[in-house]
A and B are shown apart, each in its own frame.
Chain A
Amino acid sequence: MRFLDFSRNLKNRSVLKNWSLARRKKALQERANILQAVRYFFFAQGFFEVETPHRIPAPAPESHIDAIPSGPWFLHTSPELCMKRMLAEGYEKIFQICRCWREGERGSQHIPEFTLLEWYHSGMDYLMLMEECATLIQTVASKVGLGEKIIFRDQTIDLASPWERISVREAFHEYADTSMEEALMNGLFDEIMVRDIEPSLGIRKPTFIYDYPAQRGALARLRPEDKTVAERFELYVGGLELANGFSELVDPEEQRRRFERENENRRGMGKSVYAMPEKFLEELREMPPSAGIALGIDRLVMIFLDAPSIDEVVAFTPEEL
């Protein structure tokens, strides 16, 4: 009997057990349910799901987003350019769930290969899109059996409408000891955002923070009555940034100037510059007024499951490969 036990142990030992994968099984099952609920929402709203290439000649030039090269091309950092070309061609309500890649982004809330949900809605502006985004998350929460209140990072967050809204300028006034303009001038905008503002956003209810400084929205429309800010918002839940949306810029000349400026910034930082997306710029002329948004699926799963790290909601991290 003893001998038998021993031999069985030996046999087990030769099979290396992947404990992290075993532990995540429940989270990954929930993740699958969440993805299904997201698709349910969009189909019910009359959207259709599209797939655009992951590998593209060049990403949209943005100062702080770096693409991973793939041969002479790049892995996309978001499906934005291709989806907007579809929008310009009359695809009015489209969504996509896809893998995106961003060089060097790794931490408890970042993984270089992540899953993005991106959708576009013709005829909407950023304020209407905030509402649609809230409805999506409420629908998904109820579909996967969560109540109106969720617990994330030891906070009880009420998902019932209305959600909180605060402008970036107001947020600096409320949570930081410097104004938005001063912070921009001193090059401290991001530091203050991370240290003083983000932890206070989305604590009792999810919070939309909106009207970002014009230079922080390379592809967003400026507010007609205040050209210092872009019609762009971010959604925060429990201090975690979940989605980024805006009223789309549809002026090709202005868009070209912005890309050139972003490339200029990149050059100044010693980074590679990206080729102008000429086909996109050409077709942008035809794009109707629209709003679009990107939402991190991994982070949505983190929030719904109260996961402390993004590692807990993916099958494999890059370190585990």
Chain B
Amino acid sequence: MYTASDLRKGLKVVIDNDPYMVTFFEFSKPGKGQALYRTKLRNMITGLTLDRTFREGDAFEPASLEERPMQYLYKEGDHYHFMDNKTYEQIIINAESLGEAKNFLTDNLNVKVLLFRDKPIGVELPNFVNLRVIKTELWVKGDTSKADYKPATVETGYELRIPPFVGEGELITIDTRSGEYSTRVKE
């Protein structure tokens, strides 16, 4: 267990059964008063930030998060199936917990699944993934009015803007951190 005096930036603790990370910390002690530990905490599942002040003697359970290498298998409705690379155990993560990550999952993609109390709460993707363009407009040569990029949809249903010279059926590399087009893959 942690106590309030262990609080510091970056510490991960359990509050109301959710894992939180301390993003701001300040120790206060108004004249002759009790020690107060003011914090901002980010919920590691929802991303929401919370302001909380703790007192001397308050105790917390450390939020132990486990990272396990897994492979993405397939999707069934809102359920995404992953397999543990070591134990071959399969787990399901729903679309909501995946957040943006679901846009970049291709079959057999290697990811790191973050677990809190054996419950998957998110995945860490490689920085770049390759996805096939399934829908985009034709590039009209000489049409410079729309200038640069055009809308496109990739196999996961994710929509982004790509350069005019990339056509349907082509494979592109996307930067998962920004969600933007990176390069065209030559096959």
**Contacts from A to B (Cβ < 8 Å):** 62-65, 104-110, 189-191, 193-195, 198, 212, 216-218, 234, 241, 244, 269-270
A62 touches B31 (CB 8 A): no
Q: Which residue of A lies closest to B33 (CB)?
A: A190
Expressed in whole angstroms, the minimum distance between the Cβ of B147 and any Cβ of chain A is 44
Expressed in whole angstroms, the minimum distance between the Cβ of B7 and any Cβ of chain A is 10
Q: Would you call B168 an interface residue if the criterion is a C-beta within 8 Å of the partner chain's C-beta atoms?
A: no
Q: Would you call B36 an interface residue if the criterion is a C-beta within 8 Å of the partner chain's C-beta atoms?
A: yes
CA A105 to CA B38, docked complex, whole Å = 14
A217 touches B32 (CB 8 A): yes
CA A270 to CA B56, docked complex, whole Å = 11
Interface residue tally on B, bucketed by range: 10 to 19
Expressed in whole angstroms, the minimum distance between the Cβ of B149 and any Cβ of chain A is 42
CA A63 to CA B30, docked complex, whole Å = 13
Q: Would you call B5 an interface residue if the criterion is a C-beta within 8 Å of the partner chain's C-beta atoms?
A: yes
B27 touches A193 (CB 8 A): no
CA A119 to CA B29, docked complex, whole Å = 22
Expressed in whole angstroms, the minimum distance between the Cβ of B8 and any Cβ of chain A is 10
CA A212 to CA B34, docked complex, whole Å = 15
Q: Would you call B57 an interface residue if the criterion is a C-beta within 8 Å of the partner chain's C-beta atoms?
A: yes
Q: What are the residues of chain A within 8 A of B28 when measuring CB–CB?
A: 107, 109, 194, 198
A270 touches B36 (CB 8 A): no
Q: Would you call B96 an interface residue if the criterion is a C-beta within 8 Å of the partner chain's C-beta atoms?
A: no
B29 touches A216 (CB 8 A): no
CA A136 to CA B109, docked complex, whole Å = 70
Expressed in whole angstroms, the minimum distance between the Cβ of A78 and any Cβ of chain B is 11
CA A177 to CA B38, docked complex, whole Å = 20
CA A104 to CA B55, docked complex, whole Å = 12
B36 touches A106 (CB 8 A): no
B31 touches A244 (CB 8 A): yes
Given known pairs A194-B36, A195-B53, A270-B57, the reply for A234 and B31 (CB within 8 Å) is yes
Given known pairs A110-B27, A191-B53, A269-B57, the reply for A62 and B32 (CB within 8 Å) is yes
Docked complex: B47-100 residues within 8 A CB-CB of A: 53, 56-57
A-B contact pairs, 9 of them (CB 8 A): A104-B35, A104-B56, A105-B29, A107-B28, A108-B27, A193-B33, A194-B36, A212-B32, A216-B31
CA A110 to CA B33, docked complex, whole Å = 14
Given known pairs A191-B53, A234-B31, the reply for A108 and B26 (CB within 8 Å) is yes
A190 touches B34 (CB 8 A): yes
Q: What are the residues of chain A within 8 A of B57 when measuring CB–CB?
A: 269-270
Most buried by A among B26, B31, B34, B38: B31
Q: What are the residues of chain B within 8 A of A109 when measuring CB–CB?
A: 27-28
